[in-house]
Amino acid sequence: MSLAIQTVSTVQPDSPILQRWQDQIRTARAEEKTLVITGAGSKSFYGLPIEGEALDTRDYRGIIDYEPTELVMTARCGTPLSEIEATLAASGQMLAFEPPRFGGTPTIGGVVAAGLSGPRRMAAGAVRDFVLGVRLMTGTGDLMRFGGQVMKNVAGYDVSRMLTGSLGCFGVVAEVSLKVVPTLHQETTLQFDVTEREALANLNRWAGQPLPISGSLWLDGKLSVRLSGAEPAVAAARRKLGGEALVDNSVAEALWAGVRDQSHSFFAEDSSALIRLSLPDTSAPIPRSEQQLIEWGGAQRWYRADVSQLQQFCDLATNAGGHATLFRAPKGHRTSKAFTPLSKPLLRIHRALKQSFDPAGVFNRGRMYPEF
């Protein structure tokens, strides 16, 4: 059961590209076809494999509005992340959530639709925490705005945050407004030779203190911790934490970019699956022998495992109070399950929302769950 969104088309597309999308959506709807919303395709491995005609977002591009002192940037969905980051950097600002690139040139629309954040997640927040508003084209081809360009806004339900990470299943994010932050002045990476257990204990203890930790990574007995902030804060934290500083800045930068973009050899595509566990950061070590990489102070744990083990990982994650995702299927494997299934009442709500925002099921059908 769901409520149909009335379409009186009060808002006409104000660009030929939006007009083209609208036509494409309405045609697909009439012909009962499905569309696959595609940006640069840097995350095409993510979610369930789907088919349909492409709705290409890349030519709807460009920064619409950016005023550094307002800490807000508004851009069209096809704008390359690289353009956004370069523009921000010129004013000493950045996207706080460190979006991954996965070896491609992602669009900002894709960043928002995937909702994936990088190493700074635990310190700064996730993509959804910085989404202030979106302009959405729904499954009926209607244009709607939710949220806005200001930092505090509680008029109506927070649809823009709600749809962050919805993998294009509810509409095309045509434009997005993001809160941006000043670039942090100083960055240092410290390294420690510790076991998994010691690493987790340290990370949890440090997280309870006002320390400028902006990234953490444990792999093969080595814990790396990144500090970012004002110079005195970083210096004080460095004295407090000890460890060995990575003196070569470019090595440190490559390390963090490597886990952010999964270009690090741990993530190399092969015959094993890449499984992501999202857990309470205080979760005990997971009793599995597969190769593991820990991030986010213990809250994000990656495993290279045989794909047949997915259910076991799901159970372990659920028992620990989190969830598991088949983040990247093994080469050549076609999966029918990527995300932990939703409870019945949650599925009901999802279905009703899908039915309202995309009544004909035009968009990315089955990318998130086979049910919608």
Partner 1 sequence: MSVHCDHQDEVVPRQSNYAGLIAELRRNLPILSILDQMEDVKPYECDGLSAYRQVPRAVILPRTESDLKRVLEACRQHRVPVVVRGAGTGLSGGAMPHAEGVVVSLARFMQILEIDPQARTARVQPGVRNLALSEAAAPHNLYYAPDPSSQIACTLGGNVAENSGGVHCLKYGLTVHNVLSARALVLSEDGIDEVTFGSASPDAPGLDLLAALNGSEGMLAVVTEILVKLTPKPEIAQVVMASFDSVVTAADAVAAIIAAGIIPAGLEMMDKQAIAAVEPFARAGYDTDAAAILLCESDGTSEEVAHEIARITEVLRNAGVRQIRTSQNEAERLLFWAGRKAAFPAVGRITPDYLCMDGTIPRKRLGEMLGAISEMEKKYSLRCANVFHAGDGNLHPLIMFDANDPDETTRALAFGAEILELSVALGGTITGEHGVGIEKLAQMCVQFSPEELSAFSAVKYAFDPQGLLNPGKVIPTAARCREYKQTGTGHRHDCHAHNHEVTA
Neighbouring-strand partners of residue 147: 133
CB 336 within 8 A of CB 137: no
Residue with Cβ nearer partner 1 (40 or 314): 314
Report if residue 12 touches partner 1, rule: CB under 8 A.
Answer: no
How does DSSP classify residue 339? B
Among 340, 358, 364, 367, binds partner 1 (CB under 8 A): 340
Residue with Cβ nearer partner 1 (91 or 105): 91
122 φ, ψ (degrees, to nearest 5): -75, -30
160 φ, ψ (degrees, to nearest 5): -65, -40
| Choices 55-63, 81-89, 121-129, 242-250; region in contact with partner 1 by CB under 8 A | 121-129
Report if residue 177 touches partner 1, rule: CB under 8 A.
Answer: no
DSSP 84-127: HHHHHHHTTEE-TT----TTS--BHHHHHHHT---TTHHHH--H
Shortest spacing between CB 248 and partner 1, in angstroms: 26
Amino acid identity at 67: E
Binding mask 235-254 for partner 1 (x = CB under 8 A): xx------------------
Residue with Cβ nearer partner 1 (22 or 80): 22
Report if residue 18 touches partner 1, rule: CB under 8 A.
Answer: no
Among 6, 12, 250, 265, binds partner 1 (CB under 8 A): 6
| Torsion 128-111-347-26 (CA) sign | positive
Q: How far apart are CA 122 and CA 219, in angstroms?
A: 18
Report if residue 348 touches partner 1, rule: CB under 8 A.
Answer: yes
Which residues ranging from 47 to 76 are in contact with partner 1 (CB under 8 A)? 67-72
Closest CA to 296 of 128, 120, 130: 120
Report if residue 2 touches partner 1, rule: CB under 8 A.
Answer: yes
Shortest spacing between CB 321 and partner 1, in angstroms: 5
Residue with Cβ nearer partner 1 (233 or 307): 233
Among 86, 89, 90, 230, binds partner 1 (CB under 8 A): 230
Shortest spacing between CB 346 and partner 1, in angstroms: 6
Binding mask 186-205 for partner 1 (x = CB under 8 A): ------------------x-
Report if residue 36 touches partner 1, rule: CB under 8 A.
Answer: no
Which residues ranging from 132 to 171 are in contact with partner 1 (CB under 8 A)? 138, 142, 144-146, 148-159, 161-166, 170
Residue with Cβ nearer partner 1 (78 or 149): 149
Q: How many other β-carbons are positioned within 10 Å of the β-carbon of residue 31?
A: 9
| Torsion 166-62-120-325 (CA) sign | positive
Which residues ranging from 264 to 323 are in contact with partner 1 (CB under 8 A)? 278-282, 296, 299-300, 317, 321-323
Q: How far apart are CA 64 and CA 198, in angstroms?
A: 47
Q: How far apart are CA 179 and CA 69, in angstroms?
A: 11
Where do the DSSP E strands lie in the chain? 35-38, 53-56, 63-67, 72-76, 93-94, 131-137, 143-147, 172-179, 181-182, 186-193, 213-219, 222-229, 244-245, 273-278, 291-295, 300-305, 323-328
Shortest spacing between CB 94 and partner 1, in angstroms: 11
